Structures are given as structure tokens and as C-alpha cells.
Structure 1
Amino acid sequence: MTATDISTDLDRAAFAAEWEAWHAAREEYFRAPHGWVAITALHWLAADAVTLDGVPGRWSSVDGTVRIEAAASDGITLPDGSTADGAAELAPVEGAPGLAVRAGDLLLEVARRTGHDIVRVHDPKAKQLTEFAGIPTFAPDPAWAVQARLDRYDAAQTITTGAVVDGLEHHHTAIGTVAFTLGGIDQSLIVFDGNHGASILFRDATSGVTTYPGARTLALGPVAEDGTLTLDFNRAANLPCGLTQFATCPVAPAENTLTVAVEAGEKWVAGRR
């Protein structure tokens, strides 16, 4: 074995180890006691106050305000740490992370999506959480880590996409496009900037077959001053909707459909709820 062979083997081992750490962190994130896999219900609130299965109190929504009618004995803890006693009102922000209301072991996530107020029930005792066997993936392969170039727009643009739930919209801040070659074919994808940095939403020939139909997401790595970067499709990840039916994830814009099968990264979780 030559020095070059040894170096290559070490590089592959380091690549695999880094990917394994990323994959383990992803699975740990989704198996959190009040995480995405723990969701047991998604309720759409309306003006008429109703009871929600397994949840104390009565819930309604009027003009962007969620109203909770409960007695102190119901044990509902509001986001500010106080106990709901009588009527309490919450104002979730459109598109923002949900407000955390507690009821015993349950986390009740109050959120607003395209003008609709919702409550997602996170139960650490959920059957599907105890049965969660991890996220299936393609085997990591350095060949799927490709060189790319980020071309920034002169000014950020707002791009609207649909969602996995009919009638909902997502509004993304687009900062440019990333160009690269995959399977011998030149490709270009729109890059979005969000709470967790720059990323792409994309579909490819595996979408709806071995990967989630709506989109997978891929975070951009460090970008050099000249705009070059590495896109590592081994880290193409499911949005929460790839693991639960109770998410309202965006779908990829039509422009972000690759013409090849990206057999890298996370697969669609079989039997997801």
C-alpha cells in the first residue's frame, strides 16, 4: 500500500466518522421526548370553543388570538410559566416556532400557519416514539460531495411555495443560486436564508420513491470569499414531514427539481404516522 492509498483510506474514514456523528445527532433530535416524532395530533382551531382529545380546557381562535378556557385544576401552564385559571389568550406569530403550553406530560404547541391557528400535541409516551427505529439513509459516499459556486442576488427576494397541507403557504428569503455539476449535468438551485443559515429545498428523481415527495433540505457548508463551497448531498435531510403527518412543511419550488436521482442522504421513513 502506498502513502497515497493510506492517505485516501484515512480521508474516507474521517469522512464516514463525521457523517456518522451528523446522522446520530439527527436521530437524537427527532427522538426527543417532545420532538417531532412525539406528535400525536394536529388540531385546527376555529371561533367556536372546543375540547381537544386528551387535552384539558376549551380552545378557540378569533382574529389571530388563541383563547384557552381552563380551571386551575386543569393544570395548564402557559408560556410565561403561569397557570391558566379562567380565560387566557395567546398570540402566535405567523410562521414562527410555536408557543409552548404544558399540560402534565404533554407539550401543546400553539402556532399560526397561513392565517390558521393550530395546536400540536407532543406526548413523550407516544407509541410511535417508543417504536422509533431511526432514520434510514443511503450509505455515505464522498462522491456525493460536489464542488459548487454561490451566486448571490443583488438584493434578497421573497419566494412563496406551497406546503404539504393544501391551502398553506411558506414565504422564503432567497439570497441567490448555487450552481454545480451532478451526474455530468449542470444544475442550479435557489438558496434560501433562514433561522439556521443558508440552505436549499430540493426534489430529485428519488422523491416519492425512496425519499420524501415534497422536498429534502440541505444546509450549505462554509462559503469561500470567491463564492465556492462544497455541497455534501450525503447530508440531504428530511423535513419533519418526512417523519410525521402532523407537520406543515414547505414543498420545494419548481425550479429546485434536479434531473438526476440523488441516492444520498436521508430516506423517507417507512410507516411514518
Structure 2
Amino acid sequence: MSRRCLWVFLLSLGVAVVHAENTIPSAQPGAAEVTQQVEQWRQHRVQRLTAPDGWLSLIGLEWLNQGDNRVGSGAGNDIVLNAGPAHLGVVHLAPDGTVRITLDKDSGATIDGKSQSQADLIDDIHAGESGKPTTVAFGTASFFVIDRDGRKGLRVKDSEASTRKHFLGLDYYPIDPSWRIVADWVPFDPPHKLEIGSVLGTIDKVDVPGKAVFQRDGHTFELLPYQEEPGGELFFVLADRTSGKETYGAARFLYAALPKDGKVVLDFNRAYNPPCAFTGYATCPLAPPENRLSIAVTAGEKKYRGSEH
């Protein structure tokens, strides 16, 4: 999974990215202010997650083979969708990686909102300035092409997905202002390299601009972040002693504003589950060994009750 791929993965659906404060206050806010900020953050988190095109709407991740891929809900297709017409069309993957769709004349589908029979499908990595891949829509469902280290697949969504319609809500640890930690920031010059694995089995090497060092229960801990885009916030993929028990086993995510005056705020009350905690159709990064904390982080989002994996 390339660095650009991770960025698009986190940004394209507008759910996984949960921004931190833009500035680091000179004084630690009071408990009431921390609680208010976290509660507001949680509301926005649920809104993004449950949006019609959010992560809960995923109903498929179908990898393309080179050549023609017949697509539709009918059993005779090469790719059988969980929604839509029996014969949607043919998606052609060329040896050079370009993807083109030819719609069935009776499919009723649109391409980027337009009625047309054929079009090239721009994937999420090569979407250009808009950052939006070409979308094929049919009824309440749609798909676009994703690129994961050169492997092309269809990410299929449906606003009527059972995972969205029967969402059970999120469970959290009680908000604890003591888990809003002002850590020391130790910059790396030049940046270090960090290997990030994914549920697909791929390994990506990312640039780490520094490390956050903090104390808890008399012990010192370190976390390594990276940035999905130049100048962007710090992104941590982490695990701890609650992982696989009270929290999702593979990782939790945490964003932090850029360091200021040698400090960085880590508000673990905002640690949250990756999309893979809710659906088997996502492609999520895993916590690297360097970010597996030997402490129970009893803050943030807990394991999803509706998870089957």
C-alpha cells in the first residue's frame, strides 16, 4: 500500500479522517472543556461513519482480473454484486492498468452522474486535483475503482446496506481528561522510515518526522506518526493492551495537530476504530510493532458490538 494510497484510503470517504485541534493551547484545558470537545468530536465521528456513502455503506470489494470482467448481480457474471441489475456491464482492465467500463444498454446506470454507455474509470490514486474517482451509480448502489499497489478493484457501496441500516452505535470508555496528554516532540532529521502493514498483506514504508514521548503511570512511552500529505496532521496507527479484548485488535487511529514549541497533544479520548472494525470490505493499515504500547489505553472507542471479525 503506497503512501498516497493510504492518504486516499483515509480521505476519500470522509470518515476515517478525524481532525485534531489546529493549534496546541499554552495551558491544559479544564475537564469540562475537554469533555465538551470530545463529545462534539464523537458526534461528528458518527455523522461521518453513518453517512450514505460512509464506511458502513460498503457491500463489496471485488478485485479485477486483466481483460474483460462481466459485472452484475446475476450469478453468471465474473463479478457478482450484492446489488444492482443482473447485467450491469463489462469492466475491462488493460495490461497498462487502465480501466474502462461498457454499460449494458438496459442497466440504467450512470457514470459520474451522466448517462453514457462507455467511459474510462479513474481510480482513487490517480483521481487528480478533485480527489474523486470515477463513480458508477445504479439505484441506491455505486462503485469506483481503487488501486492498491497496482492491484485494481471495485469498492462497492449501497446507502441501503444492512451494516448502515442496522448500525448499533459506538461504545466508548468514559471521557478521561488525564488521557489528553501533552507529549514531548522529538524531531527526526532526516525523517526515519517506518514499515506499515495492511490487512491485504502489503508493506508500505512511510516517512516518520519525529516521535511523541510521554509518561504514564511512571513509565515512558513513544509513538511514531506519519503524515498522509505534506504539512498534514500527525497520524498514529497504534495498539495497546486493550487491543483484541476491549478494543479492536488490529489497531486504533489517532490524529494530532502539528507540534508546537516542542510539544504535541495526544488526546486518546479520540482514538477510534479503523473501517475494518465495521466491514470486511475495507483495506486497513495495521499497528506497527513500534506503536504497540505496553499499557492499557482505557480511553477512546471500544470494539464495535456488531463486528463479526
Pairwise TM-score range, normalised by the shorter structure = 0.7 to 0.9
1:66 to 96, 99, 105: 99
TM-score by length of 2: 0.77
Q: Deviations over 1:14-42 (max 9, x none)?
A: 22111111111101100001110011111
Aligned to 1:220: 256
Aligned to 1:50: 70
Aligned to 1:254: 289
Corresponding pairs, count: 260
Identity of aligned residues (%): 32
Equivalent runs, 1:81-100 vs 2, <5 Å? 81-85=113-117, 87-92=118-123, 94=125, 99=133, 100=135
| C-alpha displacement of 1:271 | 2.3
Equivalent runs, 1:1-273 vs 2, <5 Å? 11-47=30-66, 48-51=68-71, 52-53=80-81, 54-55=83-84, 56-62=88-94, 63-79=96-112, 81-85=113-117, 87-92=118-123, 94=125, 99=133, 100-166=135-201, 168-195=202-229, 197-224=233-260, 226-272=261-307
- Relative to structure 1, is the Cα distance of residues 126 and 93 closer, same or farther in structure 2, using a 3 angstrom cutoff? closer
**Contact 2:168/2:306 (<8 A) preserved:** no
Distance 1:222 1:93 in 2: 26
- Relative to structure 1, is the Cα distance of residues 163 and 222 closer, same or farther in structure 2, using a 3 angstrom cutoff? closer
| C-alpha displacement of 1:72 | 4.9
More strand by share: 1
Aligned to 1:4: none
Structure number with greater CO (CA < 8 Å, separation at least 6) is 2
Pick which of 21-30 and 100-109 moved more: 100-109
Give 5+ residue unaligned stretches, structure 1. 1-9
**Contact 1:75/1:84 (<8 A) preserved:** no
Q: Deviations over 1:223-249 (max 9, x none)?
A: 22x211221111111111122111101
Aligned to 2:76: none
Distance 1:111 1:199 in 2: 22
